[in-house]
Amino acid sequence: MTYLEKEDKELYWYIEDEQNRQEYEIELIASENYVSEAVMEASGSILTNKYSEGYPGKRYYAGQTNIDKIENLAIERAKKLFGAQYVNVQPLSGSPANLAVYITVLKPGDTVLGLNLDQWWHLSHGHPLNFSWLLYNIIGYSIDKDTELINMDEVERLATENKPKMIIAGFSAYSRDLDWARFRKIADKVWAVLMADISHIAGLIAGKVLENPIPYCDIVTTTTHKTLRWPRGAIIMSKEQFWPALARAVFPWVQWWPHENLIAAKAVAFKEALEDNFKTYSRQVVDNARVLAKSLQEVGFRIVSGGTDNHLMLVDVFGSFGVTWKEVEITLEKIWISVNKNMIPYDPRKPLDPSGIRVWTAAITTRWMKENEMKIIVSLIFEAISNKDNEVKLASLKQKIKELCIKFPIYKK
């Protein structure tokens, strides 16, 4: 960042400081990961200078020879990675990608079946704070109270009773395998479009650790910056019959100029994800999550649904130890571990003050931490929470975290 350092010292130091935070902090917030240097180079490249509204071969401005090649490369790589028929790499983020799907499939007032609002949905799937709530008739299926798994019988019953135009299978904190075949069967039974939002699990699907929903779904959206260690943004994949309409919904209905620097960065990241190393990474993410969950259980934390099949887990901190998420967050922040609050199913507490925290292993696995480090991290978490008022102890734990992070550098190699 030599130019930035010369031109804008203040901003330079903020970024430097943030880099130190990322290097020396254990990142367990389920959504955050580290992109490669190559992805950052493409994101920060001269492609940011180009306006390129439209699609390859059909742009409104001249000078698109290289831009078209780059966007086509990104599309072809994404198709190969997921086995998708059609891919749009332009969505700026997950929420606009979902909006484009709704515009394509639904009319205002249509019925949509998605996961209950208080149970691991994403806001763009029908939350009252989101446009989707205003425009559509949202019906919610739920998590079973005893098993804490999605109740597929209820999905079928609600679909049969309400005849939704679209069923959404998309989750932000669900840690168990999804029954894609059953979702398809239910959608077929009521002639609904089946949409999956795989934002959280896309990397594990690309890495061939989880089942690919593409063969079962009509439309699949995903953000590109979670288990996929890609730049900020999203893609939409679909079957042919939705195609011209979906392309129009992304451009010009929902957004105008695509950010070609980020599309180039997506292309780099798709290439990385096609390599064998990414499969090894994805397997390790899941292996680490299992060990993290088991180790948390061994020291007394209740894990929602009793464990995890993927990269994340919900920890019922209030139910386990009577500590609030806020106390946990503040305590762990003091030793440089980041976590985020999350409601648990049928949470007795309020949405802004829930019982749980959500943790994942995607970022720490990018540092190539493995099973042994998961056990160390749990013992440090437990020690910190047991000594939450002991500042001296917390300072010594922070030092231990720093030493651990130095052994597994992200960028400062």
Ligand X SMILES: Cc1ncc(COP(=O)(O)O)c(C=O)c1O
- Residues near ligand X, by CB under 6 A: 31, 93-95, 122, 124, 170, 172, 197, 199-200, 223, 234
As separate numbers, helices (DSSP H) first and strands (DSSP E) second, the chain gives: 17, 15
Among residues 23, 51, 329, 375, the one annotated as catalytic is 51
Q: What is the dihedral of CA 2, 224, 89, 237, to 10 degrees?
A: 170
Q: How far is the CB of 68 from ligand X (least distance, A)?
A: 25
Q: How far is the CB of 362 from ligand X (least distance, A)?
A: 13
184 is catalytic: no
Q: How far is the CB of 171 from ligand X (least distance, A)?
A: 6
361 is catalytic: no
389 is catalytic: no
Sequence-distant contacts of 179-187: CB under 8 A, at least 24 apart? 179/150, 179/152, 180/211, 180/213, 180/216, 180/217, 181/216, 182/152, 182/155, 182/156, 183/152, 183/155, 183/216, 183/217, 184/216, 184/217, 186/152, 186/155, 186/156, 186/159, 187/159, 187/218
Report H helices in 112-259. Answer: 131-135, 152-162, 180-190, 202-206, 243-248
**Closer by beta carbon to ligand X, 84 or else 374:** 84
Q: For residue 183, which of 174, 196, 173 has the smallest C-alpha distance?
A: 196
Task: Tell whether omega for the bond before 213 is within 30 degrees of 0, i.e. cis.
Answer: no
Residue matched to tokens 């720490």: 364
226 is catalytic: yes
Q: How far is the CB of 92 from ligand X (least distance, A)?
A: 8
**Closer by beta carbon to ligand X, 132 or else 223:** 223
E strand or H helix at 220: strand 219-223
197 is catalytic: yes
**Closer by beta carbon to ligand X, 32 or else 53:** 32
Among residues 221, 223, 227, 308, the one annotated as catalytic is 223
Size of the chain, expressed as the number of residues it contains: 413
**Closer by beta carbon to ligand X, 170 or else 203:** 170
Q: For residue 358, which of 123, 149, 201, 175 has the smallest C-alpha distance?
A: 175
For the chain, the distance separating the N- and C-terminal CA atoms, rounded to the nearest angstrom, is 16
Among residues 80, 232, 349, 393, the one annotated as catalytic is 232
Name the residue whose CB lies closest to ligand X: 94
Q: How far is the CB of 263 from ligand X (least distance, A)?
A: 15
Q: How far is the CB of 179 from ligand X (least distance, A)?
A: 18
Q: What distances in angstroms separate CA 381 from CA 10, 137, 310, 370, 374, one per listed residue?
A: 34, 43, 21, 17, 11
On whether the CB atoms of residues 56 and 286 are closer than 8 A, the answer is no
Among residues 165, 226, 266, 367, the one annotated as catalytic is 226
136 is catalytic: no
E strand or H helix at 194: strand 193-197
Q: How far is the CB of 133 from ligand X (least distance, A)?
A: 15
**Closer by beta carbon to ligand X, 106 or else 385:** 106
**Closer by beta carbon to ligand X, 234 or else 235:** 234
**Closer by beta carbon to ligand X, 78 or else 384:** 78
**Residues taking part in catalysis:** 51, 53, 197, 223, 226, 232
